[in-house]
């Protein structure tokens, strides 16, 4: 029986207790930005009365992405996770195959390939960008290796020239996990548009959002028609919609990877403002960078983000490295008690229960020293449109806490 409304416990209000025990509001780590047009576009779907996938808004989003990523085909998906799962199928990954990737990443990077029976092979990251160390890929390649999955951490591009050259040499497929990479580039090439296949996220935590959503980018035209079939539950419904076949039928494996048109309508409103969103986030990112830059000189082991030559990022994350794990955890706690939510990042996959069961560290190594080190020392500060006036306050707390702690 459903509990009467008046007896239900109220949802706990977010916040911290002040000295009198009353909840004070905390500054969240992330807050969604709405452009204002989402409702109008969603109303249009409501009025047109068709809301299933591959509708008019989905097509507009796909076109926007094709124009801006430069891929042969963009297909909106229900998440970056599902785009990566599509990539696993498209790349022909099967049981016992090995797929090289960083351990410092989100679980979906690995899960998409573990689902196909493959073994994620974890390689260490670079100490500057926290991206997979391209110089360590070669030694991780075996006769079972089928694909390389670089992850562009914080929207800062990996060394794609080196990765593509290694892949060409060993005839491997490159799937870019560009979950965090919209509006970021390596040279003049947008992230997600460089490898054979790319995957992007529009999850609420990203810069451009639709709640849950993602996209698959096909950069190698030989994958296009199979990608469309996998996207549409393994059928040739796309060809049917184009009038190319009289009936549609089961062709291949696939799943329901496409989102409904309400989601696409929301996303289109955000994509249209992607440049503005990136510029506004960049201004906050730069304020942090300017105000906190002196910490590197004042305290050994404190470090701000490093940007490699040629990479233009998208201000997805502003992070700091603390000298050690204890100081990082203390800083998170100090910020939290001052009402500011800051957070760590990935627990490395190679040391997670799932990673130990399904994956392995490359080259019989026991550890990934840079991955472990960064994971223990990284702290991410709040970064969202609307918090501009709070940056000075956060910077003051960070500086005074570090002074006390170090």
Q: What are the beta bridge partners of residue 77? A: 214
Helix (H) or strand (E) holding 102: strand 98-102
Among residue numbers 138 through 167, which ones bind ligand PLP (CB under 6 A)?
151
Piece of the chain touching ligand PLP by CB under 6 A; list 25-33, 174-182, 273-281, 292-300? 174-182
Distance CA 105, CA 358 (A): 15
Min dist CB 214 to ligand PLP, Å, is 5
Residue 35 binds to ligand PLP (criterion: CB under 6 A) = no
Q: What angle do CA 94, 97, 102 make, to 5 degrees?
A: 115
Among positions 35, 129, 180, 219, the unique one binding ligand PLP when judged by CB under 6 A: 180
Strands of 288-345 (E only): list them: 311-312, 318-321
Min dist CB 24 to ligand PLP, Å, is 29
Q: What are the beta bridge partners of residue 318? A: 381
Residue 177 binds to ligand PLP (criterion: CB under 6 A) = yes
Q: What is the DSSP letter of 236?
A: -
Min dist CB 155 to ligand PLP, Å, is 10
Min dist CB 337 to ligand PLP, Å, is 27
Residue 109 binds to ligand PLP (criterion: CB under 6 A) = yes
Given a contact cutoff of 8 angstroms between Cβ atoms, the answer to whether 261 and 50 are in contact is yes
Piece of the chain touching ligand PLP by CB under 6 A; list 19-27, 200-208, 266-274, 288-296? 200-208
Using alpha carbons, select from 273, 291, 304 the residue that is nearest to residue 379.
Answer: 304
Q: Which is closer to ligand PLP, CB of 106 or CB of 223?
A: 106
Min dist CB 78 to ligand PLP, Å, is 8
Q: Which is closer to ligand PLP, CB of 236 or CB of 375?
A: 375
Among residue numbers 273 through 332, which ones bind ligand PLP (CB under 6 A)?
none
Report how far apart, in Å, the C-alpha atoms of 31 and of each of 100, 141, 153, 183, 298 are: 33, 41, 20, 19, 32
Among positions 35, 131, 201, 270, the unique one binding ligand PLP when judged by CB under 6 A: 201
Q: Which is closer to ligand PLP, CB of 87 or CB of 391?
A: 87
Min dist CB 57 to ligand PLP, Å, is 18
Min dist CB 181 to ligand PLP, Å, is 9
Q: Which is closer to ligand PLP, CB of 118 or CB of 251?
A: 118
Q: Which is closer to ligand PLP, CB of 138 or CB of 204?
A: 204
Distance CA 97, CA 116 (A): 9
Distance CA 65, CA 72 (A): 10
Q: Which is closer to ligand PLP, CB of 124 or CB of 334?
A: 124
Q: Please count the residues of this chain forming the interface with ligand PLP, following the rule CB under 6 A.
A: 15
Tokens matching residue 316: 């997805």
Per the listing, tokens 């060394």 go with: 159
* Backbone angles phi and psi of 163, in degrees to 5: -65, -45
| Contacting residues for 175 by C-beta, under 8 A, at least 6 apart | 84, 87, 88, 91, 147, 148, 149, 195, 196, 197, 198, 199
The helix/strand/coil state of 33 is coil
Among positions 179, 362, 378, 379, the unique one binding ligand PLP when judged by CB under 6 A: 179
Q: What are the beta bridge partners of residue 378? A: 321
Q: Which is closer to ligand PLP, CB of 109 or CB of 145?
A: 109
Q: What are the beta bridge partners of residue 132? A: 125
Tokens matching residue 245: 């076949």
Min dist CB 115 to ligand PLP, Å, is 13
Piece of the chain touching ligand PLP by CB under 6 A; list 39-47, 116-124, 172-180, 269-277? 172-180
Among residue numbers 67 through 106, which ones bind ligand PLP (CB under 6 A)?
79-81, 105-106
Min dist CB 41 to ligand PLP, Å, is 20
Q: Do the bridges between strand 185-186 and strand 173-177 make them parallel or antiparallel, or are there none, so unpaired?
A: unpaired
Q: Do the bridges between strand 119-123 and strand 145-148 make them parallel or antiparallel, or are there none, so unpaired?
A: unpaired
Min dist CB 213 to ligand PLP, Å, is 7
Residues engaged in binding ligand PLP (CB under 6 A): 79-81, 105-106, 108-109, 151, 177, 179-180, 201, 203, 205, 214
């Amino acid at each position: 029986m459903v509990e009467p409304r008046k007896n239900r416990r109220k949802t706990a209000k977010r916040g911290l207790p002040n000295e009198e025990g009353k909840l004070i509001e905390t500054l969240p780590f992330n807050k969604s930005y709405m452009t204002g047009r989402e409702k109008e576009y969603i109303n249009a779907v409501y009025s047109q009365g068709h809301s299933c996938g591959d509708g008019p808004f989905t097509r507009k989003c796909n076109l926007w992405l094709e124009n801006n990523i430069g891929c042969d085909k963009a297909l909106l998906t229900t998440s970056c996770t599902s785009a990566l799962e599509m990539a696993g199928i498209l790349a022909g990954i099967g049981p016992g195959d090995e797929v090289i990737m960083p351990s410092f990443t989100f679980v979906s990077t690995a899960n998409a390939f573990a689902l196909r029976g493959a073994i994620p092979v974890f390689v260490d990251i670079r100490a500057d960008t926290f991206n997979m160390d391209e110089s360590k890929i070669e030694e991780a390649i075996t006769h079972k290796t089928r694909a390389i999955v670089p992850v562009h951490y914080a929207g800062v591009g990996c060394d794609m020239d080196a990765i593509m050259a290694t892949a060409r040499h060993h005839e491997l497929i490159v799937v870019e996990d560009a979950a965090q990479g919209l509006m970021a580039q390596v040279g003049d090439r947008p992230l997600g548009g460089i490898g054979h296949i790319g995957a992007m996220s529009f999850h609420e935590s990203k810069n451009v959002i639709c709640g849950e959503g993602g996209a698959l980018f096909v950069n190698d035209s030989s994958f296009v028609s199979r990608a469309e079939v996998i996207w549409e539950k393994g059928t040739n419904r796309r060809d049917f919609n184009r009038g190319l076949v009289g009936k549609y039928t089961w062709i291949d494996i696939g799943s329901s990877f496409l989102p409904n048109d309400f989601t696409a309508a929301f996303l289109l409103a955000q994509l249209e403002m992607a440049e503005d969103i990136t510029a506004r986030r960049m201004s906050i990112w730069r304020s942090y960078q300017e105000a906190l830059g002196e910490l590197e000189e004042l305290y050994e082991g404190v470090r701000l983000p490093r940007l490699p030559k040629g990479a233009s990022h998208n201000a997805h994350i502003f992070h700091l490295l603390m000298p050690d794990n204890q100081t990082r955890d203390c800083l998170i706690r100090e910020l939290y008690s001052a009402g500011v939510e800051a957070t760590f990042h990935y627990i490395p996959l190679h040391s997670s229960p799932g990673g130990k069961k399904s994956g392995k560290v490359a080259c019989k190594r026991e550890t990934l020293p840079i991955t472990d080190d960064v994971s223990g020392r990284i702290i991410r500060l709040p970064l969202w449109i609307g918090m501009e006036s709070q940056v000075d306050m956060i910077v003051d707390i960070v500086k005074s806490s570090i002074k006390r702690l170090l």
